């Protein structure tokens, strides 16, 4: 294998598979999708920081969708931020899409607030608290429509990037991965450096108890696990991978919450191994309070992580520097779209280019207020 | 202009514009969209033949969507047919998409029966009887989302084909074109050779009276006309043209029902003239019981018609021969997708190739029953 990885990218897991996939999409034409969804789980106080308040976490997915398509938000004032004003990772996704010219489609996994953009409807609904043990409706429909959409996208593109914006998604992912027996402890990330691990574990334990599931019970039934304790982003995205990956390489863009999607695909179609990888950020891979590396090891190193070495430490903006302090780290496919953009440009786009464009976008969105 | 028109295509209207657009999309990469919608108007007995019974006309759009995406219908038994068993023109659309490899997306303008495919939701609803004078809800939303979708599609493709499957659509088109003063008499087509012109004119007159509109009142307000007496296919498609045509050429696929869409675009954005044309069939252009030619003359010859010279007269199948007797003639973008496929292949695909593939598809769908 003579594929040379540019310094803007890093690999964890099976390097041979990662380089093989990258070499096949290098300089090729990709398409980016972001599946937005809600789970009421994100409104449990203290659980999710993907929004300024627990109530505002319900607006984060739809607002990110509007930002990606129109460059501005209609469903709420301002843009999605974490408490403290740290801007949504959609800013990095926008930079990757702008620099590469990669087309972008929104998939509505199930939102309570409808984004004001054209989106692929998958027949999903807003997810309920996972503590009900009956969190997601229409799982089979969403999965089957996802398979169709994956096939449609693979027909017209050389590779497909999927991603998510669903506040509360790491908790639902922990629940599904626990139900499937993929993880035995809380390895998932948080958009806060103070990962509320005890609260997440408590909510997951309550959810599994309510559903009458013991860890590992749903090993071979990811869609069943999602129906009980998942969120409506998952079946749509598992479907898209299952529909697209038999035809073209797929980048699963996202952090630990995508562990549930990767584990779901591997349970349903293990033969797709070798044609999809995770695309993420170095912030997420290096997080001290979660372990994507151990999640990859648990599922299989043969679905490797490719991460973008984007670095905001030299940025004049505190809102961006905060990414270096452990805030946000991933979301809205910021890592996957960056990996996709670098691949599509055959390495001409660099992590430094991405950072520069994010600063431009950040200035545009925040106006004079953030002039350095 | 040294563009040579292949014998598979014909032109009506401004030949210079038509050839200029064709030369710019020749051998280029297109995308096909079909906007499916319902208007209760199609259930007025005797009005629409786009379905075996008045009630079944409501299934025609959704079933066509399923046929295009999955090659089979889930929402009803069999495939959409006209009384007498003549198959949906989606068979020709499928042939064009298969031969060219053109990607296809479904747009839901507003259906009462939801197609079992992933589709772009535009915020539309099933249209009411136009005789209420308040036929379509959310017209502005659908239009604005259409503009966004048009922009999105133009970003990733060299040209865009739009189309429709909406039973009752010629009557609603007549109503909108009359309200806009584009036509002064009933020039619209029917999927039956016995075009129920008196009934359509009567329904349109009732609709305009109910809305308090005199012919020509809505000259500059196509969205207002649609809200009163149109159908939910129209604002989505007008929006897509307005969003895409500033960037890439657009083919408006369809027959006389697309007159309302073309007139709407010309009223809102006359500067788009020169970057879009109608794509249709010779069956429609040569119909003795309607006059697409006079509709083109009335709106402007500068939005020319390019038609495919497909000929089913030599087909061993009566269901296809019926197209030569004045049945069906257009729908589901069969003409626009054919023109798009011929352009995308730089003329390598011919009208004869399309007919051969339609016969294969017809055999596949109907099975042994139609063995010649």
Residue range B157-199, pLDDT digits in tens: 999 999 999 999 999 999 999 999 999 999 999 999 999 999 9
Q: Verify whether the Cβ–Cβ distance A118 to B155 is below 8 Å.
A: no
CB-CB neighbors (< 8 A) of B155 in chain A: 101, 103
Q: Verify whether the Cβ–Cβ distance A118 to B156 is below 8 Å.
A: no
Kindly report each contact of residues A322-326 with a partner whose C-beta sits within 8 Å and lies 24 or more positions away, as own/partner: A322/A84, A322/A86, A323/A86, A323/A283, A324/A283, A325/A193, A326/A192, A326/A193, A326/A283, A326/A287, A326/A288, A326/A289
CB-CB neighbors (< 8 A) of A107 in chain B: 118
Instruction: Determine which helix (DSSP H) or strand (DSSP E) holds A120, and give its type and residue range.
Output: strand A119-121
Chains A, B: CB contacts within 8 A come to 61
- What DSSP string runs through A308-358? E----TT-S-HHHHGGGGTS----TTHHHHHHHHHHHTTT-S-HHHHHHHH
Optimal mutation site among A30, A67, A109, A118, interface B, most CBs of chain B within 10 A: A118
pLDDT of B4 reads 96
Among the partner residues A107, A108, A117, nearest to B145 by beta-carbon distance: A117
Percentage of chain B modeled with pLDDT above 90: 93
Q: Verify whether the Cβ–Cβ distance B119 to A123 is below 8 Å.
A: no
Residue B91 has pLDDT above 70, yes or no: yes
d(CA B297, CA A235): 51
d(CA A39, CA A57): 9
CB-CB neighbors (< 8 A) of A237 in chain B: none
Q: DSSP code of B39?
A: B
pLDDT of A90 reads 97
Q: From the CA of B139, how many Å to the nearest CA of chain A?
A: 14
Q: What does the block give as tokens for A357? A: 């464009």
Q: From the CA of A31, how many Å to the nearest CA of chain B?
A: 9
Residue B3 has pLDDT above 50, yes or no: yes
Q: Verify whether the Cβ–Cβ distance B145 to A70 is below 8 Å.
A: no
Residue of A nearest to B151 (CA): A69
Among the partner residues A118, A120, A149, nearest to B148 by beta-carbon distance: A118
Q: Verify whether the Cβ–Cβ distance B118 to A145 is below 8 Å.
A: yes
Residue range B47-88, pLDDT digits in tens: 999 888 999 999 999 999 999 999 999 999 988 888 888 999
Distance of CA B84 to the CA centre of its chain: 22
Burial class (CB in 10 A: 0-12, 13-18, 19+), A220: exposed
For chain B, the helix, strand and coil percentages under 3-state DSSP, each to the nearest 5: 45, 15, 40
CB-CB neighbors (< 8 A) of A121 in chain B: 108, 118-121
Q: Which residue has the tokens 């309920």?
A: A128
CA distances from B322 to A94, A109, B313 (A): 52, 43, 8
Q: Verify whether the Cβ–Cβ distance A121 to B108 is below 8 Å.
A: yes
Residue range B133-146, pLDDT digits in tens: 999 999 999 999 99
Residue B1 has pLDDT above 60, yes or no: no
pLDDT of A371 reads 46
CB-CB neighbors (< 8 A) of B121 in chain A: 108, 118-121
Q: From the CA of A121, how many Å to the nearest CA of chain B?
A: 6
Average pLDDT over chain B reads 96
pLDDT of A1 reads 56
Residue range B74-83, pLDDT digits in tens: 999 988 888 8
pLDDT of A2 reads 79
Residue of A nearest to B32 (CA): A156
Cα–Cα–Cα angle for B362, B365, B369, rounded to 5 degrees: 85
pLDDT of B182 reads 96
Q: From the CA of B120, how many Å to the nearest CA of chain A?
A: 4
Optimal mutation site among B118, B122, B123, interface A, most CBs of chain A within 10 A: B118
CB-CB neighbors (< 8 A) of A116 in chain B: 141, 144-145
pLDDT in tens, chain A (372 residues): 579 999 999 999 999 999 999 999 999 999 999 999 999 999 999 999 988 899 999 999 999 999 999 999 999 998 888 888 899 999 999 999 999 999 999 999 999 999 999 999 999 999 999 999 999 999 999 999 999 999 999 999 999 999 999 999 999 999 999 999 999 999 999 999 999 999 999 999 999 999 999 999 999 999 999 999 999 999 999 999 999 999 999 999 999 999 999 999 999 999 999 999 999 999 999 999 999 999 999 999 999 999 999 999 999 999 999 999 999 999 999 999 999 999 999 999 999 999 999 999 999 987 645 544
Among the partner residues B118, B141, B152, nearest to A148 by beta-carbon distance: B118
């Amino acid at each position: 294998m003579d594929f040379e990885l540019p310094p803007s990218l890093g690999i964890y897991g099976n390097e041979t598979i990662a380089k093989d996939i990258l070499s096949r999409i290098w300089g090729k034409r990709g398409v980016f999708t972001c599946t937005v969804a809600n789970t009421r789980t994100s409104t449990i106080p203290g659980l999710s920081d993907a929004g300024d308040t627990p109530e505002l976490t319900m607006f984060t997915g739809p607002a990110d969708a509007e930002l990606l398509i129109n460059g501005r938000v209609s469903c709420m004032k301002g843009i999605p931020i974490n408490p403290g004003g740290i801007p949504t990772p959609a800013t990095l996704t926008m930079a990757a899409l702008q620099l590469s010219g990669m087309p972008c489609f929104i998939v509505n996994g199930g939102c309570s607030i409808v984004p004001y953009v054209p989106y692929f409807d998958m027949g999903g609904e807003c997810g309920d608290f996972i503590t009900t043990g009956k969190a997601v409706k229409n799982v089979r429909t969403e999965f089957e429509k996802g398979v169709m959409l994956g096939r449609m996208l693979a027909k017209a593109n050389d590779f497909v990037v999927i991603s998510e914006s669903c506040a509360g998604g790491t908790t639902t992912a922990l629940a599904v991965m626990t139900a499937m027996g993929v993880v035995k402890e809380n390895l998932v990330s948080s958009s806060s450096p103070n990962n509320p691990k005890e609260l997440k574990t408590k909510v997951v334990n309550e959810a599994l108890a309510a559903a009458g599931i013991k860890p590992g019970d749903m090993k071979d039934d990811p869609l069943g696990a999602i129906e009980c304790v998942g969120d409506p982003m998952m079946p749509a995205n598992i479907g898209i991978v299952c529909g697209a990956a038999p035809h073209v390489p797929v980048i699963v863009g996202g952090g630990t919450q995508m562990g549930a999607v990767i584990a779901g695909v591997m349970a349903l179609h293990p033969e797709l191994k070798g044609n999809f990888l995770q695309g993420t950020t170095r912030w997420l891979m290096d997080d001290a309070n979660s372990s994507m590396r151990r999640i990859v090891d648990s599922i299989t190193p043969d679905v490797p992580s490719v991460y973008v070495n984007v670095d905001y430490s030299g940025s004049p903006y505190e809102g961006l520097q905060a990414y270096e302090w452990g805030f946000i780290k991933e979301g809205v496919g910021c890592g996957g779209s960056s990996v996709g953009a670098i691949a599509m440009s055959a390495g001409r786009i660099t992590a430094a280019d991405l950072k520069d464009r994010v600063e431009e976008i950040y200035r545009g969105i925040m106006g004079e207020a953030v002039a350095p």
